[in-house]
Chains A and B, each alone.
Chain A
Amino acid sequence: MTGDDANSIQFDAFFGECYPGLVRYLQHMLRDSSRAAEDVAQDAFIILWRKWETTVRDHPSPKAYLYTVARHLAYDTMEALSRVGLKPDLLGLVVAEDSPSDSWDTKMAVQEAIKKLPERQREAVTLFHIHGFPQDEIAIIMNIARGSVGALIHQGRKRLTGLIGWLPGERTNL
């Protein structure tokens, strides 16, 4: 970012590609706190910038690594916010509202339903369906077993079906 060298150009392109998705992901993690999400994203990119030449550039999935770093930082932030009483929930059962959204807008309904999933199911479903990560990369990001990712997504979809009321599709790659 400071010169015209190849690394800077590569990193700049990487930033442009990943920044919006990462901020959205962090906003969900941090309960829609945009400012905190941007701060965490910035720290995550700086950490990657420090390691870009030595570790990240040749990583099998720099994007998954970025999300891994950001996820840890977000957890620290949640812990800090929780401790000073700004956010009540650290470990994260998302409390369901009294009734599902009445909106006829399909996307809104799905978004509302996703918010009602337990935290890790929501995270796995979001990373898979919204951010488009394959399951092995989600395992890297969440630092869990590959099989657990599949289980979380499966269970999340099952719950979503119950919340929204549609029949699940025949998708078999879960």
Chain B
Amino acid sequence: MNIDEALKDLGETNSEPAIDVEAGRERLRAAIRRLHDDPLEEQRIDSLAKRIDRHERDYRRGRQALQNQDLPAAEHYLRRAAQHGNDEAAYLLGLLLEKLSIERRLKGKPHKADKYAAEARQWRLRAQESGFAEALDETGASDITPQPPSGRRGDDPQRRSVQDTHERENDTDPPACQVPSEGDDCYVIGIELRPYQFTAVLTNGEGEIVEEKTVDLPGMNRETVLSTLAATAREIAASSLGREFSADKMALGVQLGGPVDTETGTVHFFSKHPPGYTAPSEFKWEDFPLARRLQHETGYKTVLVNDAVAFAERERWLGVGQDTGDFVVVLIREGVGGAVVKHGEHFDGPVEIGNFLYGTGNFDQDLEPGDAQLVGVLEVAGGTTGIAKSAAKRTGLAITDIETAADAAEQEGPGHAASTAFLEAGLAIRRGISYLVQFAGPSHVVVYAPEAMLNPERRAARSFLSQVKTFRDSVAFEVFRQCELVTRPLSPNDGAHGAALAALNRCFQIEPRASRISTGAMK
């Protein structure tokens, strides 16, 4: 008996235990009934189906882009497909990155060349382990191997298959911005818009900060803010890159602390307490098409994201996203925000964790409204405005911001009571984290907060963290408790940097490269 006969025999006479078809049928019937009765189950199944369609599309697009010599798009889609277990995509991506590495080295960019080469090795190893590399190396894969660029990418219509055209027509993804010919030829400006102030950073195509600037705003009238943002973006581009720099190779990423619609670039609601300011906010933006207006004013493609999403994007590029595709971010500033990344992609929905109901009637803050004027919500106890208010009430001192609250907590006199405000904030954030963990099942939870709340040398931080670190106790199932807590003290340009990285990804389809910030993980 030769190998073919043996395999044929094996296929025809399966010696494995019989599968109980009737039991399976009964289970399926029950599941279909549940599907009809339970909207959440229906949603779960539809969500799975959509995700599968997307994964299938990623590989086809990556391959098509490779054939069209659209290398940035090929890199983007093949990486996504490879990350979801497509080993042929891993094989092709390894070849593509090797080619890009050689190109960078020839251009005298050894650092970038090394980064490409390192990533290429990872994918190559994966292709070897799966048996792909062995099979394709031996038989040759000339039809799918990256070829030297020949003319402008995608110019040859014969290279576009009917299937690809069909996919583009039925594409439900947001319209992609123009992909530049070389990923590192483009630049982006990231802007973090806060009450009465914004920070802007210019980054190159690698996501490295080239320039940064913080500008105070005299008021929050949205037209005035819009003009100032546009003027600053133009000025940064002109001063750093020259006035002749092509607008096609520039994009803007803007983030702010409120609900936004990234698809349409609309700010749904923005009305924050400025730091150190405890009276109700004196401005309110509702349904303002900020991204479209900025794009019109500057000529740069513009993407708008929620602030926590921008911080999650930063994590995807520089933080825990290097190790996992499943993490959540909790952002603590005047309010409290959240973001979820699942399978390497941002959850496409509001994660308004600061507005989750939290109040128990035990604390004074339960009667205070949050930024959206809801009473008894989590950010009233967990946000810095709420902490400062609570500390002021408890101590009788003139405390208006998180720094003075933390300083008061260091005192042995009446100020000591301020530490209770941090303890209560820790309780609230602990609750919020447990909600997110049970919702998303992440491997990591990343908390961004002011240094005063995270530096264990400060009493305020110790009080706060003593509660936050026990979030696993509020998680019902053991399986979801297996996640790491990572803390990151806020630094001035983190948010703007996150917005820039979001623009790189969404406008130029550039994916994170391997680089890292210290994880600061704590058990």
Interchain nearest-CB distance for A158 vs B (Å): 9
Q: Which of B19, B48, B135 contacts A155 (CB 8 A)?
A: B135
B231 at the A interface (CB under 8 A): no
With contact pairs A43-B45, A144-B86, A151-B135 given, residues A24 and B19 touching in the complex (Cβ less than 8 Å): yes
Q: Does B157 contact A (CB under 8 A)?
A: no
Residues in A neighbouring B1, C-beta threshold 8 A: 106, 166
CA A15 to CA B24, docked complex, whole Å: 9
In the complex, the answer to whether A46 meets B35 with C-beta atoms within 8 Å is yes
Which residues of chain B have C-beta atoms less than 8 A from A20's C-beta? 18-19, 21
Complex CA distance for A150 and B88, rounded to whole angstroms: 13
A118 within 8 A of B: yes
Task: Tell me if A155 and B15 are in contact (CB < 8 A).
Answer: no
Q: Which residue of B lies closest to A164 (CB)?
A: B3
> When A161-B3, A164-B3 are in contact, do A42 and B85 touch as well, CB less than 8 Å?
no
Q: B136 contacts A151, CB within 8 Å?
A: yes
Residue with the highest number of chain A CB atoms closer than 10 Å, among B7, B13, B60, B134: B7
In the complex, residue of chain A having the shortest beta-carbon distance to the beta carbon of B9: A107
How near does chain B come to A119, taking the closest CB pair, in angstroms? 5
Residues of B within 8 A of A147 (CB): 139, 141, 143
CB proximity of B441 to chain A, nearest CB, Å: 8
Pair count A-B, CB < 8 A: 190
Partner of B134, one of A16, A41, A155, A169: A155
Residues B130 and A119 in contact, CB atoms below 8 Å apart:
yes
Q: A24-B16, A154-B139, A169-B5 are in contact. Are A46 and B32 (CB under 8 A)?
A: yes
Enumerate B192-220 residues with CB–CB distance to A below 8 Å: none
Q: For this complex, into which size category does the number of interface residues on chain B fall?
A: 35 or more
- Choice from A42, A76, A143, A156 contacting B59 with Cβ under 8 Å: A143
Scoring A131, A145, A157, A164 by chain B CB atoms within 10 A of each residue's CB, the highest score goes to A145
**Minimal Cβ-Cβ distance residue in B for A90:** B85
Interface of B is mostly: helix
Find the A residue at minimum CB distance from B32: A1
Distance A85 CA – B122 CA, assembled complex (angstroms): 22
Q: Which residues of chain A come closer than 8 Å to B9, judged between CB atoms?
A: 106-107
Q: Tell me whether B152 is interfacial, beta carbon within 8 Å.
A: no
Taken together as a complex, chains A and B put the C-alpha atoms of A73 and B85 apart, in Å, by: 11
**A72 lies within 8 A of B52 (CB):** yes
- For A24, list chain B residues within 8 Å (CB): 14, 16, 19
Also in contact, A132 and B11, with CB within 8 A (given A23-B24, A120-B131): yes
B326–A83 touching, CB < 8 Å: yes
B443 at the interface (CB under 8 A from A): yes
B15 touches A107 (CB 8 A): yes
Which chain A residues border B162 with CB–CB below 8 Å? none
Given contacts A1-B29, A51-B49, A121-B135, A166 and B3 within 8 Å (CB-CB): yes
Closest beta carbon of chain A to B418's beta carbon, Å? 40
Inter-subunit contact A47/B134 (CB<8 Å) = no
Q: Which of A30-66 contact B (CB under 8 A)?
A: 38, 41-43, 45-47, 49-51
Known contacts A19-B19, A107-B10, A148 near B135 by CB under 8 Å? yes
A167 part of interface (Cβ distance < 8 Å): yes
B126 is an interface residue with CB less than 8 A from chain A:
yes
Nearest-Cβ distance from residue A4 to partner chain B, whole angstroms: 14
Question: A107 to B10, alpha carbons, bound, how many Å?
Answer: 6
For residue A83, which residues in chain B have a CB less than 8 angstroms away from its CB?
326, 443, 482
Which one of B11, B131, B141 has the highest number of Cβ atoms from chain A below 10 Å of its Cβ?
A: B131
Which residues of chain A are within 8 angstroms of B343 by Cβ–Cβ distance?
76
In A81-117, which residues have CB < 8 Å from any B CB? Answer: 83-85, 91-93, 106-111, 117
Contacts of A47 in B (CB 8 A): 45, 48-49, 52
A69 within 8 Å of B (CB atoms): yes
Interface residues on chain A, size class: 35 or more
Residues of B within 8 A of A49 (CB): 32
User: Looking across the interface, which residue of chain A has its beta carbon closest to that of B324?
Assistant: A83
Q: Which residues of A contact B130 (CB under 8 A)?
A: 91-93, 118-121
Query: When the two chains form their complex, are residues A16 and B45 in contact, meaning their CB atoms are under 8 A apart?
Result: no
* A169 touching B27 in the complex, CB below 8 Å, given contacts A46-B32, A132-B11, A150-B139: no
Chain B residues with CB below 8 A from A119, complex form? 87, 129-131
A22–chain B nearest beta-carbon distance, Å: 9
- Distance in angstroms from A80 CB to nearest chain B CB is 8
CB within 8 Å for A117 and B32 given contacts A50-B45, A130-B7, A166-B1 = no
In the assembled complex, the Cα of A20 lies from the Cα of B136 at a distance in Å of 32
Contacts of A117 in B (CB 8 A): 131
The smallest C-beta distance from A148 to any residue of chain B, in angstroms, reads 5
B31-62 to A contact mask, C-beta < 8 Å, 1/0: 11101100000000110110110011001100
CA distance A148 to B443 in the complex (A): 34
Q: Is the CB of A19 within 8 A of B21?
A: yes
Tell me, rounded to whole Å, the shortest Cβ–Cβ distance linking A96 to chain B.
Answer: 13
Cα–Cα distance between A38 and B25 once the two chains are bound (Å): 11
What residues of chain B lie closer than 8 Å to A91, measured between beta carbons?
A: 85, 126, 129-130
CB distance from A62 to the nearest CB of B (A): 15
Q: Does A135 contact B (CB under 8 A)?
A: no
B132 is an interface residue with CB less than 8 A from chain A:
yes
Known: A47-B52, A93-B129. A110 touches B27 (CB 8 A): no
- CB contact list, B154-188 vs A, under 8 A: none
Q: Is B106 an interface residue (CB 8 A)?
A: no
B144 interfacial by beta-carbon distance below 8 Å:
yes
Bound-state CA distance A77–B514 (Å) is 26
- Answer yes or no: B517 CB below 8 A from chain A CBs: no
Ordered nearest first, which 9 A-B pairs have the shortest CB separation? A118-B131, A121-B131, A169-B4, A155-B135, A129-B7, A20-B19, A151-B135, A151-B139, A144-B88
Which residues of B are at the interface with A, using a C-beta cutoff of 8 A?
1-11, 13-16, 18-19, 21, 24-25, 27-29, 31-33, 35-36, 45-46, 48-49, 51-52, 55-56, 59-60, 63, 81, 84-88, 126, 129-132, 134-136, 138-139, 141, 143-144, 326, 343, 443, 479, 482
* Other 11 A-B pairs with CB < 8 A, given A24-B16, A130-B7, A131-B11: A23-B24, A46-B35, A50-B35, A93-B130, A107-B9, A130-B11, A143-B81, A143-B88, A144-B87, A148-B135, A155-B138
